[in-house]
Each structure stands twice: as structure tokens, then as C-alpha cells.
Amino acid sequence: MKIGVPKEIKTLEFRVGMVPSGVRELVHDGHEVIVETNAGIGIGMTDADYEKAGATVVAKAESVFAEADLIVKVKEPQLIECAMLRPDQVLFTYLHLAADPEQAKALVDSGTTAIAYETVTAEDGSLPLLTPMSEVAGRLSIQAGAYALQKANGGRGVLLGGVPGVAPGKVVIIGGGIAGTNAAEMAIGLGAQVTIIDRSVPKLREIDGIYGGRVRTEYSTKHSIELCVTDADLVVCAV
Amino acid sequence: MKIGVPKEIKTLEFRVGMVPSGVRELVHDGHEVIVETNAGIGIGMTDADYEKAGATVVAKAESVFAEADLIVKVKEPQLIECAMLRPDQVLFTYLHLAADPEQAKALVDSGTTAIAYETVTAEDGSLPLLTPMSEVAGRLSIQAGAYALQKANGGRGVLLGGVPGVAPGKVVIIGGGIAGTNAAEMAIGLGAQVTIIDRSVPKLREIDGIYGGRVRTEYSTKHSIELCVTDADLVVCAV
Amino acid sequence: MKIGVPKEIKTLEFRVGMVPSGVRELVHDGHEVIVETNAGIGIGMTDADYEKAGATVVAKAESVFAEADLIVKVKEPQLIECAMLRPDQVLFTYLHLAADPEQAKALVDSGTTAIAYETVTAEDGSLPLLTPMSEVAGRLSIQAGAYALQKANGGRGVLLGGVPGVAPGKVVIIGGGIAGTNAAEMAIGLGAQVTIIDRSVPKLREIDGIYGGRVRTEYSTKHSIELCVTDADLVVCAV
Amino acid sequence: MKIGVPKEIKTLEFRVGMVPSGVRELVHDGHEVIVETNAGIGIGMTDADYEKAGATVVAKAESVFAEADLIVKVKEPQLIECAMLRPDQVLFTYLHLAADPEQAKALVDSGTTAIAYETVTAEDGSLPLLTPMSEVAGRLSIQAGAYALQKANGGRGVLLGGVPGVAPGKVVIIGGGIAGTNAAEMAIGLGAQVTIIDRSVPKLREIDGIYGGRVRTEYSTKHSIELCVTDADLVVCAV
Amino acid sequence: MKIGVPKEIKTLEFRVGMVPSGVRELVHDGHEVIVETNAGIGIGMTDADYEKAGATVVAKAESVFAEADLIVKVKEPQLIECAMLRPDQVLFTYLHLAADPEQAKALVDSGTTAIAYETVTAEDGSLPLLTPMSEVAGRLSIQAGAYALQKANGGRGVLLGGVPGVAPGKVVIIGGGIAGTNAAEMAIGLGAQVTIIDRSVPKLREIDGIYGGRVRTEYSTKHSIELCVTDADLVVCAV
Amino acid sequence: MKIGVPKEIKTLEFRVGMVPSGVRELVHDGHEVIVETNAGIGIGMTDADYEKAGATVVAKAESVFAEADLIVKVKEPQLIECAMLRPDQVLFTYLHLAADPEQAKALVDSGTTAIAYETVTAEDGSLPLLTPMSEVAGRLSIQAGAYALQKANGGRGVLLGGVPGVAPGKVVIIGGGIAGTNAAEMAIGLGAQVTIIDRSVPKLREIDGIYGGRVRTEYSTKHSIELCVTDADLVVCAV
């Protein structure tokens, strides 16, 4: 199969649909991979890296879309990209169509078969292509929160871990799923006092089993949320 | 040297001045050890255990006091014991004379050389024979506190570790010395939310280094004590 | 729906069927909650707390039973309570009917629809309303055992965690289910040497994975139980 | 003694020389404390908080300097402050004179007795008033570094803790003192791969003892620094 | 049922099909157990141990095979053993027939009903009699590797845990199943720098959750394997 | 200064007195370093590595000894080496003279100034050049012991960490110094049940503080050693 990887063109999108090691796997299995020049530049991968992995690097997105049977991207296709898609092609990317009717229409008009990453479902009902996004989001949330709490950044001047003799900051995480537990791990790591609120007692039990005395688990009620949130330095909503 | 170990006679004192393994060390080093019958019964050691270790078991305290050059006990000598002490004897035991002028007088009258465990000082200024008492006291304090918090024992019905979904109990320990850190370890172990208050920031730093996010350290001020204590389920005074 | 919460009347029962935060959730969802005066007094909740959460506080149990469509309790209904139940009511509480034929008969005679907490089963076969009881029982067992081992309480004078230089106490837990692992956590926390015996190797494997070197796992045979139990300071039966 | 706490006037200095709980201690010991209005506003402490703690709040810095025997500040005195200092006064603050000859001269001219926080030395040679600054700096360094590594902030897009399947970022900390170990704790907490380089093997041994397999310790040579630094995502210089 | 336990006769096989505590369980349940003399000698169990557990010890393997309805062994039957098996017997042991056609033929000729340990499957698809072998193999692999890395044993002289100031050895484990994670635990325990490579991201996620920052997880690609393996001191193949 | 590094010639000695990174430091500080060819071959360092670091590589030991003011070695000088030493030279190496009178005499005869690594003492009384040897020895002891316990190596077939359902091996370490605690760390890491015996209660207290429930500490008496050692699978003597 001919697989194409165009450079992402959405503003502030630095990622790329496939890394060179992915190219190498596909080429090894007999596929052909066409990559737009500089597609990996945002993550520090050069055209030479892709070529070494077996890809053909081409100068223009048009060439990628023209030749490939399968297009692998990160972000939803922009209008200019939709115009290049064909009915006999498959597009594999995040779509988030609900929020973007204009894109949805262009995509339908293209006649392409589009598979949204966010809808790929594993046998056990999990969403394997969304989970890493939740992991990253959960971990980043605490990093962002710690930064925002610094006085110089307009925060209240609380250091999440405190220092000996000074109490640590209070982090309340609403939701004990993937994003929530990843946030909790970072907050624990920085030394904060962490509370996780969830509606599922079995989930709280699992969290209690993993983090023991390092996380306070609270069953979610209007009352517990009210108490915890009004007392918190940082609230992470991970529902 | 002849070393005598009488049975303790103070009410509710179950301990004994020397265990059989201690007897064995001394006998091996050429000393003679005389033990009153049933001296070790309170800790589950029989006369046979002492004899196997090399001691001579005698029927009466009088024989122990009459023959020994050194008397090894646990508790301060009772008046009946002071009457048996002689000027050419050495007594090694806890004395706590300050609290007991009658005993102090009897001891002085006996003319014996009494060395109080609680005053034995190591080169670095520590009190090696008091430290284990502080360790035991610190560890027991949480056990006693947990028991006292049970509703059936007249407490407020708080389980120190909570259960998943229910917040743990709050334990505040005033003083981060030996008793305090031993109490903290047990409280952490039971899953409580633990705060240690101390006037020494280096000590708080040390505690923070050991227990990391599991203990909140607070510098001792009237304000911090007031805040912590009024919010606590269990307060351990370990100063 | 009108939901009634009577004060528990069984001897030594301090709990209550619903806390104020539960009332608040139900009232928010459009239900009416009627609470008997002083129903929450045993857990430190006042009538004012219930009223603030949206409940109507009434003076007598009779009023609660007379008005409510659903009665939420903790303990099995006493005979005087059974007499107030009606066929068009639902009773939600722990029943434990097997042990109490008199109550069973009174309940049948009342014609009420009684749902026993202990029989509520989740999709995965777990018993969500029994699990927290096992958690509490497991955690309390070690607290009770530690207390009972104290010499002053008639025990053999063993401190579960020992102190440096003195070996810790040996705790053997038969059964690695919810009660057993909760007991294990507390025993580990107090510094004891802990062995869990179970007939399921996968369960032992899971326990080994969680507690690593802190728990010794033994496959349950007559031989292993005999060896472990005769060597233990504290045995917790959690089967 | 009359102790004065003026509001800090250096740009971007939000701190204050004394918190209300400090005032309370001093007033309790018989001292008088005079605080400039809004002195604590940057850390969320109101004049009312100070008054409740026993301070007298005055409207102008001039009044503080005029009345106090001891001035407690955070930052080095600005020229306008030096002009208010008197020979019979003591100033207690961070001075950092070496970097600021103009201030040094003004301070000398004032004739005041100035004690620099950064020079206060404990019996064991440690610097008790600098240590907390190193703790804060070390902890903040990782927070700042993690933020700077985000692509959106101009970094190379490395998440310090990685996610499962993606290797974590590499943090190299040069110097294993207070700032270095505090940085290491935060970096470990965020899941990074951490190396500490130091010239003292005993210090590396101590660090290895505390963080075990979570930190790689390297003896400092030109070679080891070169290797580690060129391979790192984040370098913290904490010498 | 009459159950027979012959002594293993394969070279270097020290194990035995049943330990005395297993005998005790079966005898208690009404079975009869016949054990060949010295069957347990390789694991330190004497004939007296088996007799005390209720077994009948016989002098020859022939007697065991002649009398038993069920033969319990460890290793595949040797030809001499196959000759003693009968059609009305059941044999329970590891078979590994694929690797040994001669044995397979002899077994078929014997007409016995042979159940291979390695094919016994639990309801959840796991292999309960193979899992412990994987656990042992995984744990031993690191022990063997550490030994082989010693210079005196022909290795490159790398101590897996390093010492303070000297970086630890790098262990790469390919496969995150039972053998792989057991190997990882030992490698972590010895202080090595551990990477696990697996094709399943959910498995890597689970491993990351358990070992946190102590294991680096890498998604398996040709590229990641190449990078990790060429940089490793010890590679464990646990696929 | 001219510093010489000859190749070690004692049987089974693979080490070298200085690694290339050490050469680089000395050359940077203005010294000259002369290294015998293949001196580093046993640790994987080539002549090119030494030359890149700034050393001069010479073909014969004679040239090293002839030119250098300071000789840096690992092992005690062999007779052939003693013959090359001069009164105006300094020798820096492990000597262990007490065990080797012949060497001692040759060394005295050479008139060289010999500084034994094992006698270099730090201000706090520690032996900085012996400590790493104790660390290595302690860590290796468990590796060697684990290997020796394997049945195939003539041991009793005990896996130190056991597996779930089978109790771990018992390791008793006599002496809680550097070698002892390093051995303990490895034994804990492999999952063994570890006991440390020492005559110093403060040391046991320190060990208890670090390893908590993972190590049993026993005060050293004839009795405790007898009990522990007779019950152990592996005894490490680290006194």
C-alpha cells in the first residue's frame, strides 16, 4: 500500500502523523511511504531521518495526496487538504467533526473514507488513540498549574511542594480516570497534598490501593466538591 | 563480678532487668549471674531459660541482694529493696528520683552507688537507655490513640486510615524527636494524615527528607499549633 | 419520592442510614427527605446539618415511617420498626435475616419490599455495600490485635513493629481478600512481619506484586497454616 | 524592643519581612511590633491579620523607621530606605552588598548595624537563612525547566516524565547540595531520568542512599560533565 | 484414588512431583499416596517427611507405577517410564512432546491418558502451571546475567547496581509478560537501569503504573530494539 | 609532575590505576601522564582513549617507572615492580603489607615513599579509598550467594526472592557497616527476608530508619547470632 504523510499545516501544530521508526516498520512489511519535505521538522526529525527509514521524501503536499492510498495525519484536514482527498483514499487522523461543520462538509464532499483516531475502540471498550492524549494532558495540567501559581506569573505564590516547615499546596483533581490519575502522579511527585474526587467507589479504591497514603480519595457529592474546591490552591477538572 | 537480677515488685511492672541472652554474654565473659526465681515470668522467660544461659536461680530476693556486687533492675527500688542495698554495691536501674523523695532518701541512706539508666549519656550527648523508651512510647501512642478514637471505646468514631472515599483521620504530633518520629511512622503506617510541628527547621528538613510527601511539617508557632490542634482527630505531645 | 431516615435503635449502633451530604444530593434531584430528630447524633451530625442539606426533621420515628415511600436504615429493623412498615413501602438496610428468624417473620408479615444491602450485587459480581464493611473490619482487626497484645491489656507484651534491635511481631492473615489485604496494609504500616495465606495462587501473585518484599505469601495447605499460625503473635482470620 | 516591618519597595518583591504569626510570637514575648500598612498584601495578609496578631499598623514607612529599634526586611535597603536608617538601629535583611556598591556606601553612611541574612551561620557551619532560598530555587528550577521545554513555550517539546512507551526526559543536575537535591526530588517526582554530578563521593553516596535507583550519581570530571550535559534535555546548575 | 509419585530420573532433575504437604492434603481427602524412596531427596525432603504426611514409601519405581491410578511427575516420562505406564492410568506431568518424538511415540503406545502441565488452561486463558516457571525463569535470568557480567566469569566487569559515583548497568528486557516483569523486579532490586520493550502499549502502561520512574518503557519497533540492545550491558529476551 | 600508570601484572587483576577521564583532569591541571600500552585493556579502555585524554602511551613498564615522579597502581607492587621503584618516587596503590612480608621488604629496600590506599583517612575518620571496595564487596556478596544457592551450582536450590506462594530465602548479614548495608540493599532488591545483626544499637536504629519494615534488625548477642544463623539460607559476614 502507498502511505502518505503530509506536513501538518494547522497553526501551532508541530507534530507529524508518523515518525521515522514507524516508516521503517511499514517499509519492512512491504509498504511504500511518501513523506512531505520537512514534515517532521517540528519534532526534530529531518528528511534524511525519513529517507534512512525507507521513505520517499517529496517536495509538495500535492504529491503526497496524489499518490497515497492512505493518508496519515495528526489534525483534522484543513479545507485546502480536503480538496486534495479522493473517494478511493483512506484518511487516518483526529477529526473532531462535531466542532467543525465546515470541515465535516468538505470531508463528505471529498468522498474519502475517513477514520477518526478518537473513535478507534479496543475490544475492551477503551480508546487506544485517545488514551495517550489524556496521559499527556493530565501530566501537563500540573506543570501548567504549578507555573500559573507562581507569583511572577500572576498566581498566589504557592509552591506545590512547600518547603520543610511550610505546608504544601492543595491540589484537587475531579475525576479519577486516565487524565486524573496522571495529574495526580505529577502532583504527588511535586510534593503537593492531593485529593481525587470521583463518583465511582471502586475507582477510588483502586486509586487508594496504588497511591496509599499519598492521595486522599473523596466520594463525589455536591458537598465534598464544595469543601475541597474552596480549600484548594489548584483544581484540575479531569472528567 | 557477681551480678544479681531480682524480680521486679512494683505493681504492673512485668519486665525484668536482664534477659537470658544477656546472662549468657556476661557468663561467657567470666561473671556470675544470680537471678531470683520467676524474675522473667512476665516476659515469658522461665527459670530454665536463665539456667540454660548460665545463671544461678535463687528462691528469694534477699539472696540476690545479699550476694551480688551489682544489682540490675528495671524500676526504681521500692523501700523494701532499698533496705537490702549495701554501700559496697552498685545499683543499675531507672531511678526517676525527682518524683519520689521517699525513695531518694532511702537510697541515700543505703549508701549504695546507684547509676540511673536515664542519666547514662553517650559521647554525642544522646541518652542510649532512654531512647528505646521513647521509641516504644512513640509507637504505642498511635496504637493507643487509634484505639481511643473507636466509638465503642468512647471516641469519635474515626478510623485513622479512613477507607477509600472517606478521608483519613488527622494526626498532629508536637515534637519531631525520637518519640515524635516513631509516632509519625506508625500514624503514616495506619494511613492517617500526619503533621509534625517542631521548633527546629533543620529537624523538619530531616523529617521532610525521610517521609517526603507523607508528612506535613509545620514550624512551631502559637499560630500553627492552634490551627493544627483544633483541626486534629488525634494529638500526640512528644516534646 | 419521600425518603425516610429513622434514628437507629439497636443497642450500640451509632451510625445513621444517610449523612447530610446524601440528603443534599437527593433533595437536589427532586426527592423529599424526612429525618428523625437526633438521627445523626452518633456521628456528630446535628438536626441543623440535616435541615441545611434540605431534610425535614421530625420528632418521632412514627412520622418517618408513616410518611416515607422508602426507608433508609443501617441495621435490620427491630420488631417495633417492623410493626411500622407497610406493604407499599421499600426498606433499604442490612438485614442478615438468616441469623434472626423472629425478625424475618415480622418483616414478611409487614408485607414491605425489603432490599438487603448485603445482597446488592454489581455487574462484576462484587458486593458494593459489603466491601466497605470488609475494609473497615480488616483495618480495625490489626488495631484491635495490637491493643490486645499489650501486656497491660492481658497480651504477651509484643509491640507489632518491634523497635530497632528487637524483632517485630509476626502477623499471619488467613485469606487475601478485601478484609485480608486491608489488614495486611495496617500490619505492614505498623512494621510487623506479615504473612498472607490464601488458596488462590493468582491472588497471592497479585498481593506479591503490590506489597513486594513486605509480605510473605504462602499457599494455603494444612501444613503451611499449621507452621505459620503456631509461630504467630497475631492471627487474623479473613476468609 | 520596638520592631519595625516596612513594606518592601523593590520592584517585583511581593514578600514581607514578618508574617502575622511571627508578630504574635514577638508580642507574646513582650516586644512591640510596628507594621507599615499593606506590608503583607503581596502574600495575602491584611492589616487586620497583623493587628489581630498584636501589631500596630502605621500609614507610612517613615513612621516604621522612625520608631523601631530593629528593622526586619526581605531585600537590601533601597537608597530611600538607607536615608531613614539611624546609627542606633539594627537592620536585619538580605544585603548582597558585593553586587551593589551604591547601596553599600549608603548603608555605611547611615551608621546602622546591619546583619545580612545570608551571613548568619549556625554552629555546624550551615547558613540557616540561605537554605530555604536554595530549597525554593531547587524546586522551582524543575518547574521552570519543565515549562520551558514545552513546544508552545519555545522548547523542544519534551515532557519530563514521558508517557508509557515514550522515554522520559533526561535531567542533569550539577551539584548535589541543597538546591541540587531539591531539584532532583522534583525531577524524580515528574518522572524524569535524573543524573546528579558532584565532586564529593560521600555526598553522592548519601544521595544514592536516599534516592536509590531513581537517581544516577556521577563523579564530576570534565569527561562525565561533557557526556551528561550533551545528552540532557534539561541541565540544572546548582553549584 | 491411588496416586503415585516416582523419583525423577532425568539427568539434573532434582525436583519431585509432590511435596509432603501436598501428600497431606490428598490423604486428608481420602486418597492413598505411594512415593518412591528418596523421591524428595533433591529438595531436602526425606522418606520420613512423606510418611509423616501419610504416604506409603516403596522401594522401587515399578511398585509406584504398578499400583497407582494417577502418576504425578515433573518431567516428561523417560522411555523406561513409558514402558511402565498403562492404558487405565492417568499421567500428570510436563510433556513438551513437540521436541521429543521418541517419547511421544512411547507415550501413545502406552495407551495412558497423559495431561501435560503446560496445556492446563484457566478460565481466563492463563496457564497456571506454566506461570510459576516463567516467574522463576525471569527472576533467575538477572541472577545469571549479573553473575555472567563479572570479569572473573568472563564478563565485561559491570556491577548491575554500580556504586555511588559510577553509573549502574543497563538491562534491556524484551517482553513485558510474566518472565519479563519478574526479571525487571530483580534488575530494579539490584539497582540497574532497566528498560522494558513490548508491542502492547496497554501492557507498557500497566508496567509504568507499577514501577513508575524505575523502569523506562519503550514501544517495540525495529528502531527502539536496535537502539536499546546495542546500548545494553544485559539483554533478557522474555517473549 | 610526571605521573606514571603501569599495566597491572598480578594474576587476575583486570583493573588499572587511572581511567582516561582521570588522565584528562590531571593533564588539564598541568601534569604529564605516562601510561603503559594496554594498561586499560582489562576495563575496555584503549591506548587511543588514553591518548585522547592527553596521556603519553609507552611500550614498556620500565619506561613508566623510569620517568614518573608518582606511580599510580591498583595492587601491591610485585617483586619485579619493586625493583624498578626509586627513593625519589612516590607510589600510590593498595599495599596490604601485613600479609606479604616479602613485598614489604622489597618495598623498604627500594626506598620509595609508598602511600597505601587502605590507610588514607578522611577528616571524619572514614577511609575514602576503602569504602568503594566495601560497597562493591557488599553488593557482590549477595550476587555470589544467590548464584551459589542454585541447585545446579551445588546449592540447596533456594531462590532468594521466592515466588508468590513460596516463602523467600532468609539472608542474615552480620555487621551493619558499609559492606553490610550494601549487601542488605541487594538482598532486599532480590526479595529476600533480610536480618542485620550489629553490636551498635544506634546503627541498627539508623538501618531501621532507612529500610523500615524491609529489614529485621537484631542486637548482636551469642544467642541472636545462633538463632539467626542456624535458620538462614545465606549468611554474609561483613564485620
More confident residue, B167 or B149: B149
Q: Which residue of F has its CA nearest to B20?
A: F223
User: Would you say domain B2-119 falls under CATH 3.40.50.720?
Assistant: yes
User: Is residue C185 less than 8 Å (CB to CB) from chain A?
Assistant: yes
Asked if D68 and D36 touch (Cβ cutoff 8 Å), the reply is no
pLDDT at F82: 95
pLDDT at E96 exceeding the cut of 90: no
Residue with cell 554552629: D123
C-alpha dihedral over D15, D20, D21, D26, to 10 degrees?
110
Nearest Cα of chain C lies from the Cα of F210 at a distance, in angstroms, of 11
Contacts of residue E222 in chain A, CB cutoff 8 Å? Answer: 21, 24-25, 28
- Which residue from E202, E209, E222 is facing A28, i.e. has the nearest CB? E222
pLDDT at C46: 97
Give the chains touching A; criterion: ≥3 Cβ pairs < 8 Å: B, C, D, E
pLDDT at E23: 98
* F170-217 residue pLDDT tens: 999 999 999 999 999 999 999 999 999 999 999 999 999 888 889 999
pLDDT at A97: 85
Give the residue-averaged pLDDT of C6-11. 96
Query: What does DSSP assign to residue F185?
Result: H
Give the residue-averaged pLDDT of E194-206. 95
ipTM (interface predicted TM): 0.90
* D7-46 residue pLDDT tens: 999 999 999 999 999 999 999 999 999 999 999 999 999 9
pTM reported for the whole predicted model: 0.92
Which three cell numbers mark F12?
587476575
User: Is residue B190 less than 8 Å (CB to CB) from chain C?
Assistant: yes
- Which residue from D165, D193, D218 is facing E217, i.e. has the nearest CB? D165
pLDDT at B31: 98
pLDDT at A212: 80
User: Is residue F53 less than 8 Å (CB to CB) from chain D?
Assistant: yes
Q: Would you call E42 helix, strand, or coil by DSSP? A: helix
CA E203 to chain centroid, in Å, comes to 23
Contacts of residue E192 in chain D, CB cutoff 8 Å? Answer: 213
β-pairing verdict for D90-93 and D70-72: parallel
How far is it, in rounded angstroms, from Cα F76 to Cα D187? Answer: 44
User: So where are chain B's domains?
Assistant: 2-119, 130-237
Nearest Cα of chain F lies from the Cα of B220 at a distance, in angstroms, of 24
Q: Do E221 and A20 touch (CB under 8 A)?
A: no
Q: Do B213 and A166 touch (CB under 8 A)?
A: no
Nearest Cα of chain D lies from the Cα of F181 at a distance, in angstroms, of 10
More confident residue, B69 or C210: B69
Nearest Cα of chain E lies from the Cα of D78 at a distance, in angstroms, of 46
Query: What does DSSP assign to residue D165?
Result: T
pLDDT at D64 exceeding the cut of 90: yes
Cβ-Cβ contacts under 8 Å for A53 (sequence gap 6 or more):
A20, A21, A23, A24, A27, E223
Give the residue-averaged pLDDT of E203-209. 93
* Chain C meets chain B (3+ C-beta pairs below 8 A): yes
Dihedral sign computed on CA atoms, order B211, C214, E195, F187: positive
Contacts of residue B212 in chain A, CB cutoff 8 Å? Answer: 191
Q: Do D132 and B202 touch (CB under 8 A)?
A: no
pLDDT at B97: 85
Asked if D164 and E199 touch (Cβ cutoff 8 Å), the reply is no
Contacts of residue D189 in chain A, CB cutoff 8 Å? Answer: 161, 186, 188-191
* D181-199 residue pLDDT tens: 999 999 999 999 999 999 9
Q: Would you call F157 helix, strand, or coil by DSSP? A: coil
Mean per-residue pLDDT over chain E, rounded? 95
Report how many Cβ contacts below 8 Å link chain D to chain E: 57
Give the chains touching F; criterion: ≥3 Cβ pairs < 8 Å: B, C, D, E
Q: Do E21 and C209 touch (CB under 8 A)?
A: no
How far is it, in rounded angstroms, from Cα C96 to Cα C210? Answer: 33
| Confidence category of residue D212, pLDDT binned at 50, 70, 90 | confident
Contacts of residue F219 in chain C, CB cutoff 8 Å? Answer: 165-166
Q: Do B214 and A213 touch (CB under 8 A)?
A: yes
| Confidence category of residue B81, pLDDT binned at 50, 70, 90 | very high
CATH superfamily membership of B130-237: NAD(P)-binding Rossmann-like Domain (3.40.50.720)
Q: In sequence order, what DSSP letters do the residues of D76-107 get, joined into one string?
A: PPPHHHHTT--TT-EEEE---GGG-HHHHHHH
Give the residue-averaged pLDDT of A111-136. 94
Q: Which residue of E has its CA nearest to F164?
A: E132
- Which residue from A202, A209, A224 is facing C210, i.e. has the nearest CB? A209
Contacts of residue E158 in chain F, CB cutoff 8 Å? Answer: none
In the sheet that holds D2-5, the strands lie side by side as D56-58, D32-36, D2-5, D70-72, D90-93, D113-116
Give the residue-averaged pLDDT of C20-44. 97
Give the residue-averaged pLDDT of B25-39. 98
Instruction: Give the angle A66-A67-A69 at the CA atoms, nearest 5°.
Output: 105
Q: Do C131 and A224 touch (CB under 8 A)?
A: no
Element holding D21 (H helix, E strand): helix D20-28
Contacts of residue E132 in chain C, CB cutoff 8 Å? Answer: 201
Within chain C, what is the greatest distance between any pair of CA atoms? 66
User: Is residue F227 less than 8 Å (CB to CB) from chain C?
Assistant: no
How far is it, in rounded angstroms, from Cα C171 to Cα C228? Answer: 9
pLDDT at C83 exceeding the cut of 90: yes
How far is it, in rounded angstroms, from Cα A146 to Cα A140? Answer: 10
- Which residue from D191, D205, D212 is facing E191, i.e. has the nearest CB? D212
User: Is residue B204 less than 8 Å (CB to CB) from chain A?
Assistant: yes
Contacts of residue E209 in chain D, CB cutoff 8 Å? Answer: 164
User: Is residue C205 less than 8 Å (CB to CB) from chain E?
Assistant: yes
Q: Do D24 and B205 touch (CB under 8 A)?
A: no
Contacts of residue A176 in chain B, CB cutoff 8 Å? Answer: none
pLDDT at B167 exceeding the cut of 90: no
Give the residue-averaged pLDDT of E79-98. 94
User: Is residue B199 less than 8 Å (CB to CB) from chain D?
Assistant: no
How far is it, in rounded angstroms, from Cα B35 to Cα B56? Answer: 6
- Which residue from C201, C212, C222 is facing E28, i.e. has the nearest CB? C222
Domains E2-119 and E130-237 share a fold: yes
pLDDT at B122 exceeding the cut of 90: yes
Contacts of residue E117 in chain C, CB cutoff 8 Å? Answer: none
Residue with cell 531539591: D182
* D125-168 residue pLDDT tens: 999 999 999 999 999 999 999 999 999 899 999 999 899 988 89
Q: Do A221 and C25 touch (CB under 8 A)?
A: yes
Q: How many CB atoms lie within 10 A of CB A44?
A: 11
- Name residue C218's beta-bridge partners: C197
pLDDT at F226: 96
- Nearest CA to E239 out of E138, E118, E160, E140 is that of E138
Nearest Cα of chain E lies from the Cα of C223 at a distance, in angstroms, of 6
Contacts of residue F166 in chain C, CB cutoff 8 Å? Answer: 219
User: Is residue E149 less than 8 Å (CB to CB) from chain F?
Assistant: no
| Residues in chain F, pLDDT under 70 | none
Instruction: Give the angle E103-E106-E108 at the CA atoms, nearest 5°.
Output: 110
User: Is residue E193 less than 8 Å (CB to CB) from chain D?
Assistant: yes
C-alpha dihedral over F52, F54, F58, F64, to 10 degrees?
-140
Contacts of residue A168 in chain B, CB cutoff 8 Å? Answer: 213, 216
- Which residue from B167, B191, B204 is facing A164, i.e. has the nearest CB? B204
pLDDT at A27 exceeding the cut of 90: yes
User: Is residue E28 less than 8 Å (CB to CB) from chain C?
Assistant: yes
Q: Do D223 and F28 touch (CB under 8 A)?
A: no
